[in-house]
């Protein structure tokens, strides 16, 4: 009766990897319980998420062929575009479809944008390609575009491109505070997007910075973001709280692959009960101020929460 923070299935977003060129799902070794999906298995996973009451699905694509620009990211027959059309046909408006908008899964070098001759990322050229990706994803059925590359000006450019191409109602969820974190390791296995050289510290945020996160979130709102995101979540709860206080749009927090792997490894080692630890962690993210939580435990946590509600 006196509980201050409420966690429900509707606060949870299920992230999914859909891979081109496979005939059955492929388990992700570093993320127990997770897998790369075919479009057919993706439909089953999304049905499970919808039936469990999850708020939305966030799609990441793993193409069969990659190149220096990541051209499959905006291809009309790209893996995410085909998956979006299939999900829209299958579920209609029953599921909110969010498309990750970046190039790292699609480039042969693994960086989030096109490269200059010296190997650095060309911010402006990359943003131009992001606009092509966003329009292509919206045309395929995405309700929301989530630019994750942390390029300067990406939100304004994507918002302008969507509006000018007839997608004014397509929302933008900005990865506003995305840290250059070690917690993304398992994700890079899942999406086959580890940089072939260097790292991403030149365009992702220093994990030591909090005020910068607030500036970036506020700036993205000014540029037209409908929602903002903090990533990772558990190692940045202070940032979630600061961004929540500084903005008046919904705030999402991404409980990332490394955080997922740590919780599950500790539970497997007998350190604590897995279900209790997952729900406590998600509640902590909500308590910090997140309106929405992207978590690889979304479907299981949603079912657990429904069981608690029903007294099971």
In tens, the pLDDT along 190-205 reads 777 777 766 777 889 9
Report the b/e string of 244-274 with b at 16+ CB within 10 A.
bebbebbbbbbbbbbbbbebbeebeeeeeee
Q: How confident is the model at residue 264 (pLDDT cuts 50, 70, 90)?
A: very high
Per-residue pLDDT band for 188 (boundaries 50, 70, 90) equals confident
Catalytic site includes residue 178: yes
Q: Say what the pLDDT of residue 198 is.
A: 67
Per-residue pLDDT tens digits for 144-170: 999 999 999 999 999 999 999 999 999
Checking if the pLDDT of 13 tops 70, the result is yes
Catalytic residue among 178, 242, 286, 299: 178
7-35 average pLDDT score: 96
Angle between helices 211-223 and 154-164 (to 10 degrees): 20
Considering the entire predicted model, what is its pTM? Answer: 0.95
3-state secondary structure (DSSP) of residue 58: strand
Please indicate whether residue 231 is annotated as part of the active site.
Answer: yes
Which residues are paired to 255 by β-bridges? Answer: 295
**Do residues 144 and 203 make contact, with C-beta atoms less than 8 angstroms apart?**
no
Domains (ranges, CATH) in the chain?
9-309 (3.20.20.70)
Pairing of strands 292-295, 144-147: unpaired
Backbone φ, ψ for residue 155 (5° rounding)? -70, -45
Selecting among 14, 231, 242, 286, the annotated active-site residue is: 231
For the chain, what is the largest distance between any 2 Cα atoms, rounded to a whole number of angstroms? Answer: 61
pLDDT tens readout for residues 217-247: 999 999 999 999 999 999 999 999 999 999 9
Tell me how far apart the alpha carbons of residues 100 and 142 are, in angstroms, rounded to a whole number: 10
């Amino acid at each position: 009766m006196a509980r201050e923070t409420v966690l429900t299935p509707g606060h949870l977003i299920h992230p999914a990897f859909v891979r081109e060129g496979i005939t059955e799902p492929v388990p992700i070794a570093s993320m127990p319980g997770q897998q790369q999906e075919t479009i057919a298995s993706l439909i089953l996973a999304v049905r499970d998420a919808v039936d469990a009451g999850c708020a939305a699905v966030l799609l990441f694509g793993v193409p069969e062929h990659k190149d220096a620009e990541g051209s499959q990211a905006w291809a009309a027959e790209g893996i995410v575009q085909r998956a979006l059309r299939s999900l829209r046909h299958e579920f209609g408006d029953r599921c909110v479809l969010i498309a990750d908008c970046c190039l790292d899964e699609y480039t042969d070098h693994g960086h989030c944008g096109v490269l200059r001759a010296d190997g650095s990322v060309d911010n402006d050229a990359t943003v131009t390609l992001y606009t092509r990706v966003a329009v292509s994803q919206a045309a395929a059925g995405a309700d929301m575009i989530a630019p994750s590359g942390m390029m300067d000006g990406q939100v304004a450019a994507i918002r302008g491109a969507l509006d000018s191409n007839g997608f004014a109602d397509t929302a933008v969820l900005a990865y506003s505070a995305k840290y250059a974190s070690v917690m993304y390791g398992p994700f890079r296995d899942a999406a086959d997007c580890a940089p072939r050289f260097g790292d991403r510290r030149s365009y992702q945020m220093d994990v030591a910075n909090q005020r910068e996160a607030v500036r970036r979130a506020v700036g993205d709102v000014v540029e037209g973001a409908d929602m903002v995101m903090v990533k990772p979540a558990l190692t940045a709860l202070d940032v979630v709280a600061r961004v929540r206080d500084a903005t008046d749009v919904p705030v999402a927090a991404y409980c990332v692959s490394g955080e997922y792997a740590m919780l599950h490894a500790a539970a497997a080692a007998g350190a604590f009960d897995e279900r209790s630890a997952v729900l406590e962690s998600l509640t902590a993210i909500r308590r910090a101020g997140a309106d929405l939580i992207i978590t690889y435990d979304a479907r299981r946590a949603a079912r657990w929460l429904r069981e608690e509600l029903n007294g099971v």
